[in-house]
Amino acid sequence: MSLFMSFFSAGTFVAWGSIAYSHGWVAITIQWTMCIGGLITGLYLAPKWKATGNLTAAEFIKERLGSAVQKCYIYVFMIVSVFLKGSVLYSVAKLVSESLDYPLIPVTIVLGILMIAYTAIGGLWAVMVTDILQFVVLTAAIVIVIPLVFREVGGVESFLDKVPDDFFNVVNGEYTWGFILAFALYHIFYIGGNWTFVQRYTSVDTPRSASKVAYLFAALYIASPILWMIPPMVYKAINPDLTGLATETAYIMVCKQVLPAGLLGLMLTGMYFSTSASANTALNVVSAVFTNDIYKGTLNPQASEKKLMFIARASSWFFGFFMIIVALIVPLIGGIVEFTLSIGAITGGPLLAPPIWALFSKRLTGKATVYITAVSLSVNLLFKIIFPLLINSKLSRANEMLLGVVLPFVLLVCVELYAKSRGKISAEYLALKQTKAARKEAVQQIDIEEQMALKNQNKFGLKMIAFSLTFIALLLYVLCFFFADRSPLVGGIATVILISSLIPWRASNRVIIH
């Protein structure tokens, strides 16, 4: 569930909601490609990541492809992650700004600072707890919104009569079958190789459990996009006049129209939770990579634990402020849809495909990896930025995405076939085999005190989730008194959440501390 919510954010409502309002069902088709990515990851990639014995993707890259490759990837990955999470921050700031009629810039800054502080103080457990809670809050809010928007438009038949004829086409506009294919390939790389998500596969107990993580992600992405995209699609029938960047506000505008203040606050809270979880996860990973792999690994190998904790929190603030700056410039670049898809097309394949290939290949070398990444990034930047400026010509959305994912894949195949024809096994792969053999023979010393501390932390985290779910249920019960006409629906959802709180509470009692 944490993987699912880390992938999910307010950008889902702003970016895909904008497409759902403008083009209809194709927004759901686009998100179903994420289900395909999760399924392929569960079958092949997640168990492979767990089997490496590494906790992070950066650690695997260092052991398999060399420290030089790792450093190159670290620098690029940190920049790309902050850019992507800047777009996520922009999304939630846009929703809050639109719903409360506050200026966008100060809202962006305040929400960004709150996210950074939360990450610096809470760490990964705070992210996990937030993931669970915002999943519950958002699901509850969406289930409440759907019947209300249909009532607002006059029923399902009225909705179908008022939308364009092509509104339920599986592909529409610039989002063609070519784009869908490219986006599906991109999400195999992204879900299976993104450093943030890899930690979800490596932190479980077995490769089989890692597969289950990805399978649950895929299952949730079958039904969820339909539920998420119904409100902005219905709003097209209610108010068909939004154009340009105004379509990004379709979701929150329909919520403002059908929800009373308390339930609108619940929806905004869920959206902020989701964005916080996504941004916090990225900041945690970026901060951890900077602290362990750059500061401790290169700058100060003898740093104490106290010093490393200070550096981790300081780096969270540094990268967080950079994230805020990115969020402030998203409108200048063309909006959330253009920004998100462009970053994905340019960087997804070049950064994620080579490490995934290295999970299976004995022949890929560190030098070839750097060349493939550099060439792919350069070509993508050339077609995305340079050519449009020089000759006023650019690729279609589908061709842009296809180039981004197919080019590195083709280069990897060529390198693999060439090395196979020469009968070469990479020196880095042979070194990795020796490292694994030595690690297997080493006696693992279990620190009893640390083990007890971890169990205490797990017990506390589970109880915190149970308490928070109970609080959310009670809050919904209170809202029932203010909105009598909606109390059966809200009360029913509150009861489900209250019963669900027993699951983590019972699990916490099974955590035995000796």
> Nearest Cα to 509, choosing from 473, 472, 471, 455?
455
For residue range 233-264, list pLDDT tens digits in order: 999 999 998 888 889 889 888 888 888 777 78
What is the chain's length? 514
Tell me, what's the pLDDT at 29? 95
Tell me, what's the pLDDT at 235? 94
Burial 96-119 (b: 16+ CB within 10 A, else e): bbbbeeeebeebbbebbeebbebb
Tell me, what's the pLDDT at 180? 93
Tell me, what's the pLDDT at 124? 57
Which amino acid is present at 309? M
For residue range 338-392, list pLDDT tens digits in order: 888 888 888 889 999 999 999 999 999 999 999 999 999 999 989 888 888 788 7
Give dist(CA 350, CA 100) in Å, integer. Answer: 40
Give dist(CA 346, CA 510) in Å, integer. Answer: 47
User: Mean of the per-residue pLDDT values for the chain?
Assistant: 85
Q: How far is CA 383 from the centre of its chain?
A: 26
Tell me, what's the pLDDT at 459? 81
> What distances in angstroms separate CA 441 from CA 59, 62, 394, 433, 435, one per listed residue?
19, 21, 55, 13, 10
Low-confidence ranges of the chain (pLDDT < 50): 443, 514
Give dist(CA 84, CA 427) in Å, integer. Answer: 35
Q: What is the DSSP string of 183-195?
A: HHHHHHHHHHH-H
> What distances in angstroms separate CA 261 from CA 94, 110, 146, 149, 249, one per listed residue?
18, 22, 17, 16, 17
Tell me, what's the pLDDT at 360? 93
Helix, strand, coil % over all residues of the chain, rounded to 5: 85, 0, 15
> Are the C-beta atoms of 351 and 76 separated by less than 8 Å?
yes
Give dist(CA 65, CA 72) in Å, integer. Answer: 11
Phi, psi of 381 (to 5 degrees): -65, -35
> What distances in angstroms separate CA 383 from CA 79, 181, 350, one per listed residue?
20, 20, 14
Indicate the SS3 state at residue 447. Answer: coil
Indicate the SS3 state at residue 315. Answer: helix
